[in-house]
A and B are shown apart, each in its own frame.
Chain A
Amino acid sequence: MNSGINKLGRRNFIKKGMAGFATLTVGPSILHGSLLNEEKKNPKIVTRKLGNTGLELPVVSMGVMNADNPNLLRAAHDKGIVHFDTAHGYQRGKNEEMVGKVLKDMERDSFIVSTKIPGNKFDKKSGEWKIKTDAEDFIEKMELSLERLQMDYVDILYLHARSNKEEAVEPEILEAMIKLKEQGKTRFIGVSSHRNEPEVIQAAIDSKVFDIVLTAYNFKQDHFESVGKAIEDASKAGLGVIAMKTQAGVFWDKKEKENKINMKAALKWTLQNPHVHTTIPGFATFDQMNEDIEIMEDLALSSQEIKDLKFGEEMGMLGLYCNQCGVCNGQCHKDVDVPTLMRSYMYAFGYNNLLQAKDTLSSAGLEELPCDKCEECNVNCKAGFDVKAKLQRIYEIQNIPDTFLV
């Protein structure tokens, strides 16, 4: 069992002057990663048990996907982060290779590494599987992942990115995963999801095979309540629960990128749910790393942080869909009823109610969408949506016969 505290020592370096390198006395080549010229700070580490796995992890771990600098992983490990999450498909394997290069220099019991391999896709509408892999292929991918990671085993192997219960418990792939666990190539097996998460999590619980679920969970999800409930059910069933996509897209306004979400508050919000055992924020800079680790100093949300998480809602910037603030009224030079079309878009893509979307579109009374004639859209959406793109997309729904929509 891993308590998660790194025991690497500090290294000493000759401090350099700023006289330019003509007069420079250069010390030894850089030894990787550790904090060099400043005192290593020991941040407060808060841990939670990862279900029935026997592992106890810091509540902040690292999603490695966005990092392309190996020293970031080393620094994170130095600061007490124990769990590193990658995947077979990230950067065509180079992400796993980077993780392997960094972790091979560390004691094997000082870290927990996870990777993910996809199965096949199941189309609920047609009831058909899109077959691209089988058990043999899955196992081959696992062998390749281990080779890249330079390890004999990973701690967690996930079935990657499942979108429904059928995909979560695909029999042949599940058998392959169990076999890999029996062979000692992975200590635990899990399933990951960022779509229809409650359904996938429930399937994982019902299967009685999985040890861990990895799920998208953040304050901006339209369905965070049902995800939170599913997380609770999984935890009570003894599964480890790890949360991802915790910081919900970084900016409230996707287009202008002027209003940044309070990232610490967003991460803390996820951990207010005691059934989330750890999180894997995908920090890509040292500042982001420090910010994420700092939340363990105090996991409680302050009143200001709670207010910050409501900022987007108050400013009409919450979520993926137009909230009908009406600021855009009258901005379109062609007099398109933008709020109505945006509402149609929301019905289609937010609520999957295509008939309602089409009815709403019809109510706008458009004979044709003039957007193609405008080089630049002068509608300035407060929420930062690309209004022209969304209108062009939803306008196509009028070409779909009603029989396809009911």
Chain B
Amino acid sequence: MLRKAILITALTLLPLQAFALSLEEAKSKGWVGERMDGYLGPVTETTEVVALVKDINNQRRAEYQRIASGNGQPVDTIQKLAAQKAYEKTPSGFYIQSPQGGWVKK
């Protein structure tokens, strides 16, 4: 009984990072791509990937909003400049969104 309690406690305290999908891995495996609105999009829509995309996009949005207000610009402007930068910096072979909306490898 005690052993079971200890085991359950140990498992719940394990750091989530040990199992969480990283953006680096998701990109290298072609599971996510850069959208033309400055945010990530899922290329492969698994629960894990969708959760990662949502999490990263929330953090990006917060940064874009901070930069927007810091420069007196609409957040839409920042997002578009970020998208341009994302496209430039994306390595070839990684996914970006085409003007038609689909995923293409750079």
Same complex: no
Q: Which residues of B contact A (CB under 8 A)?
A: none
